[in-house]
C-alpha cells in the first residue's frame, strides 16, 4: 500500500468507530441470510427424505443464480458512496435506482430461463426419480421470487452506500421471522407441502424488497431524485457490474473445482470437505462484514477527494482484518472438539477433517487481509483489476488442485492448495493497493 503518515490516535479511534458502526449490523444481516434455507430445511425435512433432497437441489440452483448477481450490491455500494462523499445525495439515490431497475430486468430474465428449464437443470444435478419432482416444484415457484431477491441485493447496496447498514439488518431479521411463520403455516397449516415452503420464501422475499423500496422511494422524494428508469444509467450500472461478475464467476469456479477434486478423493474426503467449506463460509461472514464497511467508507472518502483519509482507513481495516483472522484461527483450533462432533460422528471423516481444518485455521489471517483489500478495491470501483486478479488466481489454482489426486495427495493437500489460492489473491490485492492506482477521486470513477 502507498505509504501514508501514521494517523493520530483520535483519527484511529474515529476510523474504528466508523468501521464498527457499519460492520456489526452488516454482519448480522449476512448471518440472517443463510437462516432462510435453514428454516426451509428444518420444516421440509419433516415431510420426508425425498422432499428434503429436492429442496437441497433446488436451493443450490437458486443460490448459484442469485450469487452470480451479487455485483448488484457491490457495484451499487461503491457508486452511491462516491456520490455521498461528493455531497450529491440526489445523484446518489438516482444511481441506486439505476441499480434497482437493473435488478428487476435481470430478475425477469432469470425467471424466463428458469421456468421452462427447471426439469433439465434438476437433471444436471443428478436428482433421483423420487426427489426430482419436488426439486422442480420448489425451483419453479421460488424462481418467481428472484426479482425480489435481486432488488434486495441492489437496495442493500444503495443503503450501504448511504452509510446505513442498520436498515438491512432490521429488514433481514423481519424477513427471517416472516419466512419461518409463512413456511410453517403453508407447509403444515395449509397442507401445501414443499410448494408451501417455496411460496412462503417468495412472499417473505417480496416483503423484504417492498420494505427496501419504501425506504429508497422516501429518500428519493425527500431529495428530489427521479424514480423513472433511465436507460443510460441502467446501462452504466450493468457495465460497472461486468468486471465484478467475472470476479464472482472465477471465484465460483475455484470453489467448484475444489469440490470436484474432493469428490475424486473418496466419500470420507468429500464429506469432510463439505464440513470445512461450511465452516470456511461462516468465518467469511465475519471478515466480509468489515469488507462491506470498507466498500462504503472508501467510496465516500474518494468521492470527497480525500485520498489521505482513504489510505489511513485502508491501513486501519487491514489491521482489523489480520486481528480478526488471528482470532478466528484460534477459535477454530480451540473449539474443534466441540463443533466437529456436531457435523459428523464418523471417525474416518473426523480423522480426515482434522489436519485440513488446521490448515484453514493457519490461513485465516491471510483471508482477513484478502477480504479487506477486496472490499477496499470494490469501494474504489476498481472492478477491472479485481476481475483480472481473480482470473489469474483461478489460472494458478486450477492446475495445482487438479494435480492433487494424481500425485496421491489427500484433503489436507487440497486445502493447502486453497491456502495458496488465498495467498495469490492477497499478493495481487496488496500490490494494487500499494501502487496507489486505485485512489481515483471524484463523484464517478
DSSP letters for 169-225: HHHHHHHHHHHHHHHHIIIIIS--THHHHHHHHHHHHHHHHHHHHHHHHHHHHHHT-
Percent of all residues in the chain with a pLDDT value above 70, rounded to a whole number: 95
Residue that wins the pLDDT comparison between 361 and 13: 361
Return d(Cα 145, Cα 40) in angstroms, integer. 15
User: By mean pLDDT, which of 138-152, 201-215, 329-343 is the weakest?
Assistant: 329-343
| Number of other residues whose CB lies within 10 A of the CB of residue 396 | 17
- State the average pLDDT over residues 327-338: 89
Quote the mean pLDDT of the chain.
Answer: 89
pTM as predicted? 0.86
The band of 13, judged by pLDDT with boundaries at 50, 70 and 90, is: confident
Return d(Cα 397, Cα 60) in angstroms, integer. 24
Q: What is the pLDDT of residue 5?
A: 54
Given a cut of 90, whether residue 61 has pLDDT beyond it is no
Query: How is residue 254 written as a grid cell?
Result: 475455484
Q: What is the pLDDT of residue 344?
A: 67
Q: What is the pLDDT of residue 11?
A: 67
Given a cut of 90, whether residue 160 has pLDDT beyond it is yes
Q: What is the pLDDT of residue 6?
A: 56
What is the maximum span of the chain, computed from C-alpha positions, in angstroms?
Answer: 65
Query: Long-range contacts made by residues 120-126, C-beta under 8 angstroms, separation at least 24?
Result: 121/61, 122/57, 122/58, 122/61, 125/57, 125/60, 125/61
Given a cut of 90, whether residue 36 has pLDDT beyond it is no
Dihedral sign for Cα atoms in the order 84, 85, 88, 94? negative
- State the average pLDDT over residues 221-230: 90
Is residue 205 a contact partner of residue 152, using CB atoms and an 8 Å limit?
yes
> Could you read off the pLDDT of 108-138 as tens digits, one per residue?
999 999 999 999 988 876 677 888 899 999 9
> Could you read off the pLDDT of 281-307 as tens digits, one per residue?
878 888 888 899 989 999 999 999 999
Return d(Cα 108, Cα 166) in angstroms, integer. 29
Q: Which of 173, 184, 162, 165 is nearest to 46 (CA)?
A: 184
User: By mean pLDDT, which of 2-11, 118-127, 224-233 is the weakest?
Assistant: 2-11
Query: How is residue 431 written as a grid cell?
Result: 500490490
Q: What is the pLDDT of residue 105?
A: 96
277 DSSP assignment = H
6 DSSP assignment = P
- State the average pLDDT over residues 358-379: 95
Percent of all residues in the chain with a pLDDT value above 90, rounded to a whole number: 59
CA dihedral 288, 289, 292, 293 (to 10 degrees): -140
Residue 282, classed as helix, strand or coil, is: helix
Q: What kind and span of H or E run contains 65?
A: helix 49-68
State how far the alpha carbon of 346 is from the alpha carbons of 268, 353, 409, in Å.
Answer: 9, 11, 21
Q: What is the pLDDT of residue 81?
A: 94
Given a cut of 80, whether residue 357 has pLDDT beyond it is yes
Q: What kind and span of H or E run contains 94?
A: helix 89-124
Is residue 426 a contact partner of residue 394, using CB atoms and an 8 Å limit?
no
Beta-carbon contacts of 170 under 8 Å, excluding residues fewer than 6 positions away, are: none
Q: Which of 179, 173, 143 is nearest to 41 (CA)?
A: 179
Is residue 153 a contact partner of residue 72, using CB atoms and an 8 Å limit?
yes
Return d(Cα 98, Cα 233) in angstroms, integer. 6
Return d(Cα 392, Cα 381) in angstroms, integer. 19
Q: Which of 188, 206, 189 is nearest to 145 (CA)?
A: 206
The band of 2, judged by pLDDT with boundaries at 50, 70 and 90, is: very low
Count of residues in the chain: 445
Angle at 426 between CA 421 and CA 428, to 5 degrees: 95
Q: What is the pLDDT of residue 151?
A: 95
- State the average pLDDT over residues 191-209: 94
Beta-carbon contacts of 12 under 8 Å, excluding residues fewer than 6 positions away, are: 316
Given a cut of 70, whether residue 220 has pLDDT beyond it is yes
End-to-end CA distance of the chain: 20
The band of 361, judged by pLDDT with boundaries at 50, 70 and 90, is: very high
Amino acid at each position: 500500500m502507498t505509504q501514508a503518515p501514521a494517523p493520530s490516535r483520535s483519527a484511529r479511534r474515529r476510523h474504528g468507530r466508523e468501521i464498527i458502526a457499519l460492520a456489526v449490523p452488516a454482519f448480522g444481516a449476512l448471518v440472517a441470510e443463510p437462516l432462510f434455507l435453514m428454516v426451509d430445511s428444518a420444516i421440509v425435512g419433516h415431510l420426508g427424505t425425498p422432499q428434503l433432497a429436492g429442496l437441497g437441489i433446488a436451493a443450490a440452483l437458486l443460490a448459484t443464480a442469485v450469487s452470480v448477481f451479487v455485483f448488484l450490491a457491490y457495484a451499487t455500494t461503491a457508486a452511491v458512496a462516491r456520490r455521498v462523499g461528493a455531497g450529491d445525495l440526489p445523484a446518489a439515490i438516482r444511481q441506486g435506482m439505476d441499480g434497482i431497475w437493473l435488478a428487476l430486468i435481470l430478475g425477469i430474465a432469470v425467471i424466463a430461463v428458469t421456468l421452462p428449464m427447471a426439469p433439465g437443470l434438476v437433471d444436471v444435478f443428478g436428482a433421483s426419480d423420487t426427489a426430482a419432482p419436488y426439486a422442480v416444484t420448489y425451483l419453479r415457484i421460488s424462481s418467481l421470487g428472484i426479482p425480489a431477491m435481486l432488488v434486495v441485493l441492489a437496495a442493500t447496496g444503495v443503503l450501504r452506500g448511504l452509510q446505513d447498514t442498520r436498515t438491512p439488518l432490521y429488514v433481514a431479521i423481519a424477513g427471517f421471522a416472516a419466512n419461518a411463520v409463512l413456511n410453517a403455516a403453508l407447509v403444515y397449516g395449509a397442507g401445501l407441502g414443499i410448494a408451501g415452503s417455496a411460496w412462503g420464501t417468495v412472499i417473505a422475499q417480496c416483503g423484504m424488497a417492498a420494505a427496501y423500496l419504501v425506504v429508497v422511494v422516501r429518500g428519493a422524494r425527500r431529495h428530489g431524485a427521479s424514480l423513472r428508469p433511465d436507460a443510460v444509467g441502467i446501462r452504466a450500472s450493468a457495465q460497472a457490474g461486468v468486471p465484478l461478475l467475472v470476479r464472482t464467476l472465477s471465484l465460483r469456479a475455484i470453489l467448484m473445482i475444489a469440490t470436484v477434486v474432493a469428490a475424486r478423493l473418496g466419500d470420507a474426503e468429500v464429506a469432510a470437505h463439505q464440513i470445512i467449506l461450511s465452516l470456511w463460509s461462516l468465518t467469511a461472514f465475519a471478515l466480509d462484514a468489515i469488507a462491506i464497511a470498507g466498500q462504503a467508507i472508501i467510496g465516500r472518502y474518494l468521492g470527497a477527494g480525500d485520498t489521505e483519509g482513504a489510505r489511513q482507513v485502508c491501513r486501519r481495516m487491514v489491521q482489523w482484518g489480520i486481528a480478526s483472522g488471528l482470532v478466528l484461527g484460534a477459535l477454530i483450533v480451540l473449539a474443534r472438539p466441540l463443533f466437529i462432533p456436531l457435523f459428523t460422528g464418523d471417525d474416518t471423516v473426523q480423522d480426515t477433517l482434522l489436519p485440513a481444518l488446521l490448515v484453514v485455521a493457519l490461513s485465516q489471517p491471510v483471508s482477513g487481509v484478502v477480504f479487506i483489500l477486496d472490499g477496499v478495491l470494490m469501494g474504489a470501483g476498481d472492478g477491472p483489476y479485481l476481475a483480472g486478479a481473480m482470473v489469474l488466481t483461478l489460472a494458478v489454482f486450477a492446475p495445482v488442485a487438479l494435480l492433487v489426486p494424481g500425485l496421491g495427495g489427500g484433503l489436507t493437500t487440497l486445502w493447502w492448495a486453497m491456502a495458496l489460492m488465498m495467498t495469490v489473491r492477497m499478493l495481487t490485492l496488496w500490490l494494487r493497493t500499494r501502487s496507489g492506482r486505485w485512489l481515483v477521486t471524484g463523484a464517478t470513477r
